[in-house]
Amino acid sequence: MKCNLSRIHSNNLFFSFFFPENTSLVLNSWKHELKNVYRTRGTLEVLDKIRTNSVVMIIGNSGSGKTTAMRYASLQLQEEGYEIVRISSPRDILSLRCVDRKQLFIIDDVFDKYRVDTIALNMWKRLQDCISVVFKHSGAKLLFTLRRQLYQTISHISSSTFLESKVVDLDSKDLALSGDEKLGMLELYLNNRNLSNSISMDEKVEICTCEIAFPLLCNIFSSSQDFFQQKANFFVSPSVVFREELDRLEKENKKVYCVLVLLMIFSYNELE
């Protein structure tokens, strides 16, 4: 068979995740969400790199727009004839690769969000030689995201570039949001919700001085009347974002959460 389905897992979760109709529903929801996306230099760089390379890694801090860039590029390649294949592990690539199709495999937060999942990392390393062969074929591509701090951790562990991937750093000096990009993005969010005339240009300029998770904050800010009433103050101290992030961290990675609590209670020297 051209499609190697012999390794496909039999559990319902796997079947549900990869079932074509489910993928189609997900992609349609992305199209709806991104129909008015603001295309930054970073977004366009991701698209350019995945068009001209087989494996591309998008890195950036939390809320920098990694997932949006990945989804935007995926939808553009779908229009160019690629089948979009969502995966959760490297084994899925070997199971779902069809040599007679143009396929883009995508995975968000490839090694987890808060600390490097060593089990996942080791699995990718073990299968790296097999996977590399897949992406030597011009019809196969891989696009994935990774938080910047985890990328730095992995870089200390290994000197080689993961799967020889091209890295697009959305928070790099060349791609970090410019003032004009921030203002354009803010205006887009406000216009989509008919709020642009409810805030002065001076307030918009002040908002654009924010350096933390700007794309995420714009979305939250324009989606809630309570946050919108705070105007620029919301961007100065976006406590809701930190609170939600801490709540997710407590549920998803209790070990890292406990370390963070200890660092808040004790000094680094005391812990040593």
pLDDT in tens, 244-259: 666 666 677 677 667 6
pLDDT band for 12, please (50, 70, 90 cuts).
very low
Instruction: For residues 126-149, give the mean pLDDT.
Output: 91
- Separation of CA 5 from chain center: 28
The continuous run of DSSP H or E covering 86 comes out as strand 83-86
pLDDT band for 162, please (50, 70, 90 cuts).
low
Instruction: For residues 214-242, give the mean pLDDT.
Output: 83
pLDDT band for 16, please (50, 70, 90 cuts).
very low
Q: Does residue 9 register a pLDDT over 50? A: no
pLDDT in tens, 189-227: 999 889 988 999 999 999 999 988 899 899 888 888 888
**Tokens read off for 101:** 């199709």
**DSSP letter (8 states) at residue 194:** T
Q: How far apart are CA 135 and CA 14, in angstroms?
A: 23
pLDDT at 10: 42
Instruction: For residues 169-191, give the mean pLDDT.
Output: 95
Number of CB atoms found within 10 A of residue 149's CB: 15
Which one-letter amino acid corresponds to residue 107? Answer: I
The DSSP bridge partners found for residue 146 are 59
Using CB atoms within 10 Å of the CB of residue 218, give its burial: 0 to 12 exposed, 13 to 18 middle, 19+ buried: buried
Instruction: For residues 81-104, give the mean pLDDT.
Output: 92
Burial code (b: 16+ CB inside 10 Å, e: under 16) for 2-12 equals: eeeeeeeeeee
pLDDT at 15: 42
Which one-letter amino acid corresponds to residue 76? Answer: Q
pLDDT in tens, 37-90: 899 999 999 999 999 999 999 999 988 999 999 999 999 999 999 999 999 999
**Tokens read off for 49:** 């790199």
* Averaged confidence pLDDT in the chain: 84
Q: How far apart are CA 271 and CA 102, in angstroms?
A: 52
pLDDT in tens, 106-119: 999 989 888 888 88
Q: Answer with the residue of higher pLDDT: 142 or 264.
A: 142
Tell me if residue 200 falls in helix, strand or coil: coil
